[in-house]
A and B are shown apart, each in its own frame.
Chain A
Amino acid sequence: MNEHDIINAIGTIDDALIINAEKIRKKKKSFPLYKLTAVAASLFLCIGCVYLAVRFADVNDVTDSSDMNGVADAQTDDRDEMSPTLNEGASGAETQSAADIIPNEDEAPENTDGGQELPEIKVEVTGVFESGVFATVKDGMASYLKGDEEVIIKFEPVIWFSVPVEEGRWINETKPFDESVFNIGDTFIVQFSSFEDNKGKDTLYSATVILLQGENNEK
C-alpha cells in the first residue's frame, strides 16, 4: 500500500465526516456580519479622526470669512487686473498658450492672509475637461492636501478646489475656459489667497493660478 492508496481511500470515507467538516468550512468562509460592521465602523472612525486632525491642524491660520462672495469678488477684481488674458481665454475661442496666462508678477496678489503666508501647491495636469482640469498635487501643502491627491481646478473668475476630488463634486458651474491651453503633464503653481472652511462639505479655497510651462506643453 502506498500514499496514493490512502489518498484514494480518504475519498470514500463516511459521509458524516465530510458533512461536519463542510459545515465548519462554510461557516468560516463567510465573514460574520457583526465583524464586518465593527470593521467598517472602526475604519470610518479612523478616517474621520484623521480628516478632522488634518483639517483643524492649522486652525489658527484659517481666515474667518463669512462673506465668500465678497472674497470671490475681490479675487475676481484682482484677477481681472492681473490676468485679463485668462478671462479672455476662458470665454473666447482663441487658442492661447500657457505662457499667456502667466500673470505679471508685479500684479500678482499677495499670497498672505493677515500677515501669515498661505500655502501654495504645485500641481500637474492629468486630465482636461470642459470646465477645468484634473491635476495631481506634486508638491507642497502637506497640511491641506497630501501628495498624489488629485484636485479639480475649475477655471472661473475665482478658482475653486474641491478636496478631496471625486468626479461630479463640482462646487460651482463655471463659464467655459479654453481647454486647449492645457495639456496633460503641464504643471502649475496654485497660490492661495484665502482659505474657507465650508462647514464639513468640500473644502473651498480661492486661489490664483500661476501657470508654469510643463514638459509636455506644446503650445
Chain B
Amino acid sequence: MSMDDKTIVSLYLSRNESAITETDKKYGKYLLKIAYNVLNDREDSKESVNDTYLAAWNSIPPNIPEILSVYLSRITRRISIDIFRKKNSQKRKSSQLTYSLDEMSDCTSNTPEPDEIIENKRLSESISAYLYSVSEVQRNIFIFRYYYFDSVKDIAKYCNITESNVKTTLHRLRNGLREYLLKEGFEV
C-alpha cells in the first residue's frame, strides 16, 4: 500500500531516506514513463528518474509540494529534456559548425537572465490561459502530447478517439496557440 503525498513529503522534511524509496514505490513507473516518452531509452530514462529523486531530495525543503506527482513530473520532464538535448548535441559533433557553436557557448551563460525568467513565466501563464479557453478534451490532448510527450496512439486510447482525430486536434491546437501568443504580443 503506497503512502499519501503528505507523509512522503514529511519524510523528505525530516531527512528520512526512506522518502526516496516511498517516492519510487508510488511514482517510479509514472516518472519512468514520462522520461521514456522523451528519451526512448530505458537506461537514460532510469538515469533521469534517479536524477529526479536527487533533485527532489535537494529541493524539499525548502519547497513543500502539495501535489507530489505534479512536482516530480515537472522535474523529470525538465531533466529528461536536458538529457535529450545533451545527447542530441553530442551526435552533431561531427561538423565544424557544431564545434564552433559549442565553443561559443563558453561566451554565453546558461543561467537565464531576469528578463528571460519573467518572459518564460509570462509565456507559461499565456499557455495556461489558452488551454483554459479550449475544451477539456482538447486541453488534455495538448497536455498529453506536449507535457507528457505521450504518443498519438496512447492519447487516442486515453481519450477514446481515433488517432486521426488526435492529430487533427493537435494541429488545430497548435494553430490556435500561435494565434493566441501573437495576440499576447509574443514574437513567434
Provide the bound-state CA to CA distance between A206 and B150, in Å: 58
Is A14's CB within 8 Å of the partner chain B?
yes
Contact stretch, chosen from B16-24, B56-64, B118-126? B118-126
B143 close to A17 (CB less than 8 A):
yes
Are B70 and A12 within 8 A (Cβ)?
no
Binds B, one of A18-26, A89-97, A176-184: A18-26
Q: Cβ of B78: which chain A residues have Cβ within 8 Å of it?
A: 8, 11
A103–B70 alpha-carbon span in the complex (Å): 76
Q: Which of A1-37 contact B (CB under 8 A)?
A: 1, 5-15, 17-22, 24-25, 28
Whether the pair B187, A1 counts as a contact (CB closer than 8 A) is yes
Which of chain A's residues have a CB closer than 8 A to the CB of B136?
20
Q: How far is the CB of A24 from chain B (nearest CB, A)?
A: 6
Does B50 make an interface contact (CB < 8 A)? no
Main secondary structure of the interface of B (DSSP, over half): helix
- Determine if A17 and B124 form an interchain contact, defined as CB atoms under 8 angstroms apart: no
B residues contacting the other copy or chain, number (CB 8 A): 33
Residues A14 and B140 in contact, CB atoms below 8 Å apart:
no
Q: Is the CB of A9 within 8 A of B188?
A: no
**Bound CA span A13–B159, Å:** 21
Q: From known contacts A8-B81, A13-B127, A22-B70, infer whether A1 and B188 are also in contact, taking CB-CB under 8 Å.
A: yes
For the complex, give the distance between the alpha carbons of A12 and B71 in Å: 10
**Residues B139 and A25 in contact, CB atoms below 8 Å apart:** no
Q: Is the CB of B70 within 8 A of A10?
A: no
Tell me the B127-149 residues at the A interface (CB within 8 Å): 127-128, 131-132, 136, 139-140, 143-144, 146-148
Do A9 and B159 form a contact, CB below 8 Å, given A1-B187, A15-B67? no
A6, B157: Cα distance in complex, Å: 26
B132: shortest Cβ distance to chain A, in Å?
A: 8
Known A-B contacts A1-B187, A17-B128, A19-B70; the reply to A11 vs B147 at CB < 8 A is yes
B121–A12 contact, CB under 8 A?
A: yes
* Cα-based distance from A14 to B125 in the complex (angstroms): 8
Question: Given contacts A1-B187, A8-B120, are A20 and B140 in contact (CB under 8 A)?
Answer: yes
Contacts of A6 in B (CB 8 A): 123, 127, 177
Task: Using A1-B123, A9-B127, A11-B78 as known contacts, say yes or no to A24 and B73 having CB atoms under 8 A apart.
Answer: no
Q: Are B128 and A14 in contact (CB under 8 A)?
A: yes
Known A-B contacts A5-B123, A25-B158; A17 and B81 likewise in contact (beta carbons under 8 Å): no
Query: How far apart sit A22 and B186, CA to CA, in the bound complex (Å)?
Result: 29
Q: Please determine whether A17 and B123 come into contact, CB atoms closer than 8 angstroms.
A: no
Beta-carbon contact of A13 and B81 below 8 Å: no
Q: Given A8-B120, A9-B127, check contact A18 B147 (CB 8 Å).
A: yes
User: Interface code B155-188, partner A: CB below 8 Å = 1, 0 otherwise?
Assistant: 0011100000000000000000100010000111
Taking CB atoms, residues of chain B closer than 8 Å to A17 are: 128, 131-132, 139, 143
Of B77, B158, B188, which contacts A24 at CB under 8 A?
A: B158
Q: Give every chain B residue within 8 A of A12 (Cβ-Cβ).
A: 74, 120-121, 124
Residues in A lying within 8 Å of B, measured CB to CB: 1, 5-15, 17-22, 24-25, 28
**A-B contact sample (17 more), CB < 8 A, given A21-B148, A25-B150:** A7-B81, A7-B146, A8-B78, A8-B120, A11-B81, A11-B147, A12-B121, A13-B131, A15-B70, A17-B132, A18-B147, A21-B143, A21-B144, A24-B159, A25-B144, A28-B157, A28-B158
Closest 7 CB pairs of A and B: A21-B143, A9-B123, A9-B124, A12-B124, A14-B128, A28-B158, A13-B128
